[in-house]
Amino acid sequence: MEENPVRDGETGSETGVEEALVGNVNKLTVSPPGFSGPPRKGHLVFDACFESGNLGHVDYISDFEFDLFIRPDTCNPRFRVWFNFTVENVRETQRVIFNIVNFSKTKSLYRDGMSPVVKSTSRPKWQRLPPKNVYYYRCPDHRRNYVMSFAFCFDRDDDMYQFAYCYPYTYSRLQHYLSSLERRNLPYMKRELLGLSVQQRRLDLLTITNPGSEKKLVFLTSRVHPGESPASFVCQGVIDFLVSQHPVAQILRDHVIFKIVPMLNPDGVYLGNYRCSLMGFDLNRHWQDPSPWAHPTLHAVKQLIVQMNQDPRVTLEFYIDVHAHSTMLNGFMYGNVFEDEERVQRQAVFPRLLCQNAPDFSFSNTSFNRDVVKAGTGRRFLGGLLDDTSYCYTLEVSFYSYMPSGSSAPVPYTEDTYMRLGTNVARTFLDYYKLNNLTKDNIPTPIQKYRYSIALALCRTTHAVFSHLVLMFLLPVLSQCPQWATLMEREKGPLTERGRRLSNTRQTDTD
């Protein structure tokens, strides 16, 4: 399926650019023009023939500069954004400039400080390149198309270096993760094979809940666009939290059924596509009438949701489709537009609650629309299919960074902070369903009980000013325990009135 590029013996580069772009480079040695003989140290070897890899062609410009061409999505030349490749046979202290010259999108977070990620065999943790080494500009040498150039210095000659658009999350990584969950034999988690992709890869469905009846149902999908790898980290954050022993997770499992499809487009992810499936389809435009042979994963998910919607025993309240955004910061949501104003207000509740729980989520970036071009998306289609008590959202997270409240400096996302957003998404259902009073977190500890008794005793003293100080400073802190809220409200009125009377008495005495 992937074609190996042909190496020209004279130039050390590929011949037949159009042909080479069909597949990824395969251990391609790029040598100076006119060079012959075995490659020398510093003659870079490029490779993208691995899972989720993408690099279609390399042009030698000089010993220090190379033009790199992204391979388009399979069967669809429109999309060229994701790249993921390795470089080896480097020379220590060798400095290079790589130019990614054929992006299909002009708008990019590279204009706002985003940078590619890199790791090496001796440093296997992904990290972002320094933004000062990355440039995004219109290039006259490439028909004024936008080019992203980055400078890099290889520091270990025996290392293999890997560069990517964003932190990769492969199909194999998901399978290893789900298999490890399965081996734990958790009584509240079930893994099912919902279907197979065109290339016979698994379409997994997770169901997470405790035994019980009459529960709300939340359906979550991810990676319909294969190059949007942050969506998988968010999704894993949701799953990790829901299967944990955290008190909030236990309460959620008691009251809610979570059904999760972690990777809706496994073929596209495996192939290193940015937006499309193996056959070149943007699956998130085919929800209205998916084909069982051309879009089998989408067809299987839609069938399941339609069946659940027709089952009177199932209350499907949420559908959330997780994506990553290439031009905006923060996490945010897209929702639907309704004629009923009350439904519009109800739909805004969950994003508002998420904004309170997640420092990287922006309600101001959240928008509700009915764009014609989005009619085939999961959010739009299911928003019209499900009844008016259900809410369908697209959850977006930036490929680059978020802007914390009160800060003017963006904070780049990491794998961990993407997962933390997933955790906060899961926790927000506790607030939405008003289950806070059921969590063990809210049961006062012995030390909290002791502090409260001391505060109450101090409030009952005859010193009015001191009593007011206790009410102002101690009780608001202790009020974080909801079990004490009723008692405190009952005490607060009489104590405040008593303090006022005592204060008036003392004022009369001094007059």
Give yes or no for a contact between 455 and 467, defined as CB atoms under 8 angstroms apart.
no
What span, in angstroms and rounded, lies between the C-alpha atoms of 372 and 380? 10
What span, in angstroms and rounded, lies between the C-alpha atoms of 136 and 327? 13
- 3-state SS, residue 28: strand
- 3-state SS, residue 29: strand
What span, in angstroms and rounded, lies between the C-alpha atoms of 4 and 447? 68
Structure tokens at 146: 């936008």
Give yes or no for a contact between 24 and 48, defined as CB atoms under 8 angstroms apart.
yes
Q: How many CB atoms lie within 10 A of CB 183?
A: 8
Q: 233 — phi, psi (to 5°)?
A: -65, -40
Give yes or no for a contact between 86 and 48, defined as CB atoms under 8 angstroms apart.
yes
Active site residues: 396
Please tell me the number of Cα atoms within 13 Å of 152 on its side-chain side.
Answer: 23
What span, in angstroms and rounded, lies between the C-alpha atoms of 440 and 212? 20
Which stretches of 10-74 are assigned E, i.e. beta strand? 28-29, 45-47, 57-62, 65-69
- 3-state SS, residue 285: helix
Helical H runs in 184-246? Answer: 230-242
- 3-state SS, residue 258: strand
* C-alpha separations of 504 from 456, 463, 470, 498 in Å: 22, 12, 19, 10
Size (the chain), residues? 511
Structure tokens at 403: 């802007």
Query: In which order are the strands placed within the sheet that holds 202-208?
Result: 189-196, 202-208, 256-261, 216-222, 315-325, 391-398, 331-335, 367-368
